[in-house]
Structure 1
Amino acid sequence: MWCSRCGEEVPDRSHVATCRGAGGAASEPLDLPGVVTDCREEIRAALPAWTASVASWRASTSPLTEVRIDTVNPFDRLCIHLGQDRRLRVELQRDEGVLSLDPVPAPEDAWPQAERLAAAPPPLPAATPPPGFPDRSLTLRRADGAELQIGVTGGTFVRSPEHTVAVELVEMIDGHARGTVADLERDQERRKREAAVPEELRDLPHPIHDGLRQQLSMALPAWRTAKEAWLASRSPLASVTAEHSTYQVETLTVTVDAMLRLVAVDGDGRSARADVEDEALWALAQRVAAAPPSLPAGAPPPGSPGESVTLTRADGTTLGITCTPGAFVHSPEHDDAAALVTAVVGHGREALGRPAVRWAGPGPEPVPNCTPTPPPPGFPPGFPDDPAPPLEHEGEEHRFEDQRAARPPDARTDPGSPPREAPPAPPPPPGPGPGAPPRRP
């Protein structure tokens, strides 16, 4: 049996009454051979030096000034300083460099618990962690320079109330510091992502989903180049070409020049020419040409109609603007471009003999001089817009309930009902009459 104060081997517990140790207080002998640990021999060998260190620490009356926690892992090293100002100074060392944080407030119980630990250090030292395991230690420092290092790596020390205080203090400060580091890293990642976002996409009037934002970011450099080339040209606007396509229904390409002459061509090759009597149409086109949208458009949503407008100057400079609903960020400039597409396509539809308003159903839009496609076999007329007719079996359950209600009571299922009459016997088979063929024997 070994004494935790003087570090000497004692015969029994009667040593408690006489040994005051180096610290001047009675101590409880610890039965170290009875402790089940792989570090028993190392702890026993380090006990005299540890006892002397604790005695020197207790002999100093200087106040506690700093607590330092070091955690060494194979992938990083975390050093935390806690001062009398009760603020944490954290340094995280990794392969890519050292990350130093500004002082942050420490947990409220950290400094009082450190003072309790300084007043009552653990009675036994800790062993050296095995190779490859994290090494965690706590160092107490007084104003006169006295230091006491306590190992708190799991599995390297004998549990005691004093060592439990040290472990809880380390876990409290380490967890708080790592949480602060994680918050800082998340904030840095967020700032990197925000810095990578183009300036045009940072402050948008309406939120957009990440997919559209990524598409706009990829298309923005080419759009900037095309827009700069368009605005650099001083040539007048010569023509406007609007394109509208609906999946398996309609494809239109309508061109209007400065003289308001219109040429419309559909997907089947039919074309029409007309003179547009709409001065506001060309004024809208010039407004779009003078102030193009600041952002490009992304890929159209599945199933949505494709719409775009191409502006052409007299010198051949062109600028294409996609106006498919759901593929662009709404702005006054882009809304003007979408209105221009609607107006030009509407005039083109009228020139082809179709209503200017888009077809609203049911079924596919009827095209002049074209036989409509019949619905697939087994589908109702007007598929897929007309509701299907009711099935034959719908409402059968109500008819069955009515039949059950009209049926007379049955004595087998209803004890209070009168017995049912036996059904009449079937008539006997007819016998041989006159003219009947004779029976075979």
Structure 2
Amino acid sequence: MTAATLLRVSAEGVATALVLTVQARTGHAATAGYLQTAMTLPYVVSGPVIGNALDRMARPRRAVVALAAVYAAATGLLLTMAGASPLVLALCVAAVIGCTEPVVVALTSLLPRFVPADRLSRAYGLEASSYNVAAIAGPGLAAGVASFAGGQYAGGAIVASAVLSLFALPLLPFAAPPGSADSGATAVQTTATPAERDRSAADDPVETVAEVGKGAMAERDIGEVAEDGRSGLADVITGGLVVLARGRVLRALTVATTLAWLGFGGVAVTAVLLAGHIGAAPSAGGRLLVAMAAGSLLGSLASSRWLTPGHAEPVLIGGLVAFGAALAALAAAPSVPWAMAAFCAAGLAEGPVFAATLMLRQRESPPDRLGQVNTTGGSLKIGASALGAALTAACADAVGPVGLVLAIAALQFAGAATGWLLLRSPTR
């Protein structure tokens, strides 16, 4: 948790640091939207590849550390170049970040190797809180450094956090993936539901092991995924997408969250622009993002205690509606304290949405595809976020910060409505 949170502090704070850095050096914060797009768009391909690779590695420590090291180096270089070098060069460096940052999400997919199945719901709630702690600390560190030393130095603490994670990641004692020869009986414990484990005492052990390995697909009508081509490049990239498309719940979840993140991609830039709109310094945008992350942390901690996989679908839909309503209220915010309250309310809704997302992916995915499903779903969200950041940069001058927050809110409502309709659709 320590290693992952330190890495996520950097990943969550880099967007804020980038906006503040570009604002300080060029006076035009919206330009950072293009760098955000270049930083996240490669994630669409790199995410599934990294997830597939970690799913198949019995001991992925070296790969995780190498990816984190390249990410840290590229982040430091981008924050040095942003607003001070030709845009095309900065875009190339940003793309390197997009090729390595999926390791942040891929670590979540390794949880079943550490946590018994009957405690995974709580673990995913705490895992969501790790992202939220990082979402508080990342933008907070960037805004704090910008207020103290100037916006051009906002990324110093962000890079330092990524470097610190490199000292903790090598200590992770990775277990073998579920179902592998190295994992033995642990495969049953980490993939079986509590009911299946209770039933196994009376059932034939061989039959139980077989059901654990294939039940997630068979029972949820996801369909069999052929393993013969598992090593092929097409399967590496599209295997997770096939699972997401065939499962009714996963399909609804993916479409809903992807639409929502199309809007969410513009939040960092919009927060800085909104701060200026209500008469505050641009660095106040970082405080607004911290308020949202604080709300998300509270929501995630509550989810770790009370949210169960059986209630994840309504929590997902209701959370998106509440998230959009809180963002829409920003259009009428008269001051920074009111805006912080609205951002905090948005975070309170977003925290359970994220925890529900992790639970549903774990519940509905085949055990040997969980990493690929997580990173593929994350890639679609990040790709939508990248497009949203670019649209924000292109439309900021035309519609202003109020128009931006209303557009972001509308996409949350659209995601909730689409997800609800897909959940009510027939299984096939």
TM-score bracket for the superposition, by shorter chain length = under 0.3
TM-score between both structures, scaled by the size of structure 1: 0.17
* Bigger CA radius of gyration: 1
TM-score between both structures, scaled by the size of structure 2: 0.18
More strand by share: 1
More helix by share: 2
